[in-house]
Amino acid sequence: MKFWGLFVSILTPLIAFNQDDARIQFSDCHMRIIDESSATIIVHEKIEINADHAKSQAILRLVSDEFTESSLISGTIYNSEGKRIKSIRPKDLRKYSLWDGVSIANDGFMEVYFPEEEPPFTIEYRYKIEEKGILFLQPWMPLSDYNVSLSRASFDLSIPVKLEAKIYDTNAGQAQINTEGGMKHYRWEVSNISPIDDDEFVPPLK
Protein backbone atom coordinates (compact mmCIF):
# COMPACT_ATOMS: atom_id res chain seq x y z
CA MET A 1 0.00 0.00 0.00
CA LYS A 2 1.20 3.50 -0.82
CA PHE A 3 1.29 6.18 1.83
CA TRP A 4 0.48 9.85 1.41
CA GLY A 5 2.85 12.34 3.02
CA LEU A 6 1.35 15.76 3.67
CA PHE A 7 2.93 18.72 5.43
CA VAL A 8 0.55 21.38 6.80
CA SER A 9 2.21 24.59 7.93
CA ILE A 10 1.07 28.06 8.99
CA LEU A 11 3.86 30.61 9.23
CA THR A 12 3.59 33.03 12.13
CA PRO A 13 4.95 36.60 11.94
CA LEU A 14 8.35 37.59 13.25
CA ILE A 15 7.75 41.34 13.09
CA ALA A 16 4.42 42.92 12.17
CA PHE A 17 4.54 45.12 9.06
CA ASN A 18 2.62 48.42 9.16
CA GLN A 19 1.55 48.43 5.52
CA ASP A 20 0.66 45.16 3.80
CA ASP A 21 2.18 44.89 0.35
CA ALA A 22 -0.51 42.30 -0.35
CA ARG A 23 -3.37 40.78 1.61
CA ILE A 24 -4.90 37.37 1.07
CA GLN A 25 -8.61 37.98 1.67
CA PHE A 26 -9.30 34.26 1.59
CA SER A 27 -7.64 31.08 0.41
CA ASP A 28 -9.61 27.83 0.37
CA CYS A 29 -8.07 24.53 -0.70
CA HIS A 30 -10.11 21.33 -1.10
CA MET A 31 -8.07 18.18 -1.65
CA ARG A 32 -9.72 14.83 -2.31
CA ILE A 33 -7.64 11.67 -2.43
CA ILE A 34 -9.39 9.34 -4.87
CA ASP A 35 -7.20 6.26 -4.55
CA GLU A 36 -3.58 5.26 -4.02
CA SER A 37 -2.37 7.06 -7.12
CA SER A 38 -4.67 10.00 -7.80
CA ALA A 39 -6.02 13.14 -6.17
CA THR A 40 -8.09 16.20 -7.10
CA ILE A 41 -7.36 19.65 -5.69
CA ILE A 42 -9.55 22.74 -6.07
CA VAL A 43 -8.17 26.11 -4.95
CA HIS A 44 -10.17 29.32 -4.59
CA GLU A 45 -8.39 32.47 -3.45
CA LYS A 46 -8.73 36.23 -3.51
CA ILE A 47 -5.69 38.49 -3.13
CA GLU A 48 -5.51 42.24 -2.66
CA ILE A 49 -2.44 43.91 -4.21
CA ASN A 50 -1.42 47.21 -2.62
CA ALA A 51 2.07 47.83 -3.99
CA ASP A 52 3.64 47.55 -7.43
CA HIS A 53 6.49 45.32 -6.21
CA ALA A 54 3.87 42.93 -4.78
CA LYS A 55 2.25 42.18 -8.15
CA SER A 56 4.12 38.88 -8.21
CA GLN A 57 1.64 37.69 -5.56
CA ALA A 58 -1.11 37.97 -8.19
CA ILE A 59 0.62 35.82 -10.81
CA LEU A 60 -1.10 32.51 -11.44
CA ARG A 61 1.09 29.53 -12.39
CA LEU A 62 -0.49 26.23 -13.44
CA VAL A 63 1.81 23.30 -14.17
CA SER A 64 0.83 20.25 -16.22
CA ASP A 65 2.94 17.20 -17.03
CA GLU A 66 2.61 13.41 -17.19
CA PHE A 67 1.57 13.30 -13.51
CA THR A 68 -0.33 16.59 -13.15
CA GLU A 69 -3.13 18.30 -15.06
CA SER A 70 -3.99 21.87 -14.04
CA SER A 71 -6.78 24.08 -15.36
CA LEU A 72 -8.27 27.49 -14.64
CA ILE A 73 -11.94 27.40 -13.64
CA SER A 74 -12.49 31.15 -13.32
CA GLY A 75 -10.67 34.40 -12.63
CA THR A 76 -11.73 37.99 -11.92
CA ILE A 77 -9.97 41.30 -11.31
CA TYR A 78 -11.57 44.06 -9.20
CA ASN A 79 -10.60 47.71 -8.81
CA SER A 80 -9.96 49.42 -5.47
CA GLU A 81 -13.70 49.97 -5.02
CA GLY A 82 -14.50 46.28 -5.47
CA LYS A 83 -15.98 46.68 -8.96
CA ARG A 84 -15.27 43.89 -11.42
CA ILE A 85 -13.14 45.23 -14.26
CA LYS A 86 -11.98 42.04 -15.99
CA SER A 87 -12.76 38.34 -16.30
CA ILE A 88 -9.81 35.97 -16.79
CA ARG A 89 -10.30 33.06 -19.15
CA PRO A 90 -8.07 30.08 -19.95
CA LYS A 91 -7.09 31.66 -23.29
CA ASP A 92 -5.61 34.62 -21.38
CA LEU A 93 -2.89 32.43 -19.88
CA ARG A 94 0.52 32.25 -21.54
CA LYS A 95 1.90 28.77 -22.13
CA TYR A 96 5.55 27.87 -21.57
CA SER A 97 7.29 24.56 -22.17
CA LEU A 98 9.00 22.87 -19.23
CA TRP A 99 11.48 21.05 -21.46
CA ASP A 100 14.89 21.17 -19.79
CA GLY A 101 16.83 20.76 -23.02
CA VAL A 102 18.21 17.39 -21.93
CA SER A 103 15.32 14.94 -21.59
CA ILE A 104 14.41 12.95 -24.70
CA ALA A 105 10.70 13.52 -24.11
CA ASN A 106 9.01 16.06 -21.88
CA ASP A 107 5.49 17.24 -22.58
CA GLY A 108 5.28 19.33 -19.43
CA PHE A 109 4.23 22.96 -19.63
CA MET A 110 3.29 25.88 -17.41
CA GLU A 111 0.37 28.26 -18.01
CA VAL A 112 0.88 31.69 -16.47
CA TYR A 113 -1.29 34.74 -16.03
CA PHE A 114 0.43 38.11 -15.51
CA PRO A 115 -1.99 40.87 -14.41
CA GLU A 116 -1.40 44.18 -16.19
CA GLU A 117 -3.42 46.35 -13.81
CA GLU A 118 -1.71 48.87 -11.54
CA PRO A 119 -2.23 48.60 -7.76
CA PRO A 120 -4.37 48.79 -5.83
CA PHE A 121 -6.48 45.97 -7.26
CA THR A 122 -7.83 42.60 -6.16
CA ILE A 123 -7.57 39.35 -8.09
CA GLU A 124 -9.61 36.18 -7.60
CA TYR A 125 -8.74 32.74 -8.95
CA ARG A 126 -10.39 29.34 -8.91
CA TYR A 127 -8.46 26.46 -10.41
CA LYS A 128 -8.28 22.67 -10.42
CA ILE A 129 -5.32 20.30 -10.18
CA GLU A 130 -5.54 16.58 -10.90
CA GLU A 131 -2.62 14.47 -9.66
CA LYS A 132 -1.88 10.97 -10.94
CA GLY A 133 0.76 8.47 -9.92
CA ILE A 134 2.05 10.43 -6.92
CA LEU A 135 3.35 9.35 -3.53
CA PHE A 136 3.65 12.73 -1.84
CA LEU A 137 1.47 15.82 -1.92
CA GLN A 138 2.67 19.40 -1.99
CA PRO A 139 2.63 21.19 1.40
CA TRP A 140 -0.18 23.58 2.25
CA MET A 141 1.31 26.96 3.15
CA PRO A 142 -1.33 29.70 2.73
CA LEU A 143 1.12 32.38 3.90
CA SER A 144 4.19 31.78 1.81
CA ASP A 145 5.91 35.12 1.32
CA TYR A 146 7.07 38.18 3.22
CA ASN A 147 5.00 41.36 3.70
CA VAL A 148 1.78 39.50 2.91
CA SER A 149 -1.06 39.28 5.43
CA LEU A 150 -3.78 36.66 5.59
CA SER A 151 -7.40 37.31 6.55
CA ARG A 152 -8.71 33.75 6.30
CA ALA A 153 -7.64 30.38 4.95
CA SER A 154 -8.96 26.84 5.09
CA PHE A 155 -7.71 23.45 3.98
CA ASP A 156 -10.07 20.49 3.54
CA LEU A 157 -8.58 17.05 3.02
CA SER A 158 -10.62 13.92 2.26
CA ILE A 159 -9.00 10.47 2.26
CA PRO A 160 -10.52 7.00 1.82
CA VAL A 161 -10.53 5.31 5.22
CA LYS A 162 -8.69 2.32 3.73
CA LEU A 163 -5.62 4.49 3.06
CA GLU A 164 -3.17 5.54 5.71
CA ALA A 165 -2.00 9.16 5.60
CA LYS A 166 1.04 10.63 7.28
CA ILE A 167 0.25 14.23 8.20
CA TYR A 168 2.72 16.68 9.72
CA ASP A 169 1.21 19.95 10.91
CA THR A 170 3.14 22.96 12.20
CA ASN A 171 1.42 26.01 13.70
CA ALA A 172 -1.79 24.99 11.97
CA GLY A 173 -3.70 24.04 15.09
CA GLN A 174 -5.75 20.92 15.62
CA ALA A 175 -7.65 19.65 12.59
CA GLN A 176 -11.38 19.00 12.73
CA ILE A 177 -11.79 15.31 11.86
CA ASN A 178 -14.85 13.27 10.96
CA THR A 179 -15.61 10.12 8.98
CA GLU A 180 -18.49 9.84 6.54
CA GLY A 181 -19.29 7.72 3.49
CA GLY A 182 -16.06 5.75 3.62
CA MET A 183 -13.96 8.93 3.69
CA LYS A 184 -11.99 10.52 6.50
CA HIS A 185 -12.24 14.32 6.43
CA TYR A 186 -9.72 16.76 7.89
CA ARG A 187 -10.21 20.53 8.08
CA TRP A 188 -7.80 23.25 9.16
CA GLU A 189 -8.76 26.92 9.46
CA VAL A 190 -6.64 29.97 10.25
CA SER A 191 -7.36 33.69 10.28
CA ASN A 192 -5.86 37.13 10.88
CA ILE A 193 -2.20 36.33 10.25
CA SER A 194 0.02 39.43 10.22
CA PRO A 195 2.77 39.91 7.60
CA ILE A 196 6.29 38.65 8.18
CA ASP A 197 8.87 41.40 7.83
CA ASP A 198 11.41 40.80 5.08
CA ASP A 199 15.10 40.85 5.97
CA GLU A 200 18.12 40.45 3.72
CA PHE A 201 19.55 37.77 6.04
CA VAL A 202 16.35 35.71 6.20
CA PRO A 203 15.99 32.87 3.64
CA PRO A 204 12.94 32.59 1.34
CA LEU A 205 9.82 31.14 2.93
CA LYS A 206 9.35 28.67 0.07
Sort strands 4-9 and 165-170 into parallel, antiparallel or unpaired: parallel
Q: How many C-beta atoms lie closer than 10 Å to residue 42's C-beta?
A: 16
pLDDT at 98: 83
pLDDT at 156: 95
> For the segment 179-206, what is each residue's pLDDT rounded down to a tens digit?
999 999 999 998 998 887 765 545 455 5
> For the segment 102-153, what is each residue's pLDDT rounded down to a tens digit?
555 567 899 999 999 999 999 999 999 999 886 667 778 888 778 889 999 9
Work out the pLDDT band at 166, boundaries 50, 70, 90. Answer: confident
pLDDT at 174: 81
Burial class (CB in 10 A: 0-12, 13-18, 19+), 123: buried
Main-chain phi, psi angles of 52, to 5 degrees: -60, -40
| More confident site: 61 or 15 | 61
3-state helix, strand, coil in the chain (%, to 5): 5, 55, 40
Whether 163 contacts 4, CB under 8 Å: yes
Q: Which of 76, 142, 71, 64 is nearest to 115 (CA)?
A: 76
> For the segment 40-96, what is each residue's pLDDT rounded down to a tens digit?
999 999 999 999 989 999 999 999 998 899 999 999 999 999 999 999 999 999 999
Rounded to whole angstroms, how far apart are CA atoms 193 and 174?
Answer: 17
For residue 119, the SS3 value is coil
pLDDT at 62: 97
pLDDT at 13: 42
Residues in contact with 46: Cβ distance below 8 Å, sequence separation at least 6, in sequence order: 24, 25, 26, 27, 122, 123, 124, 125
Q: What is the DSSP letter of 120?
A: S
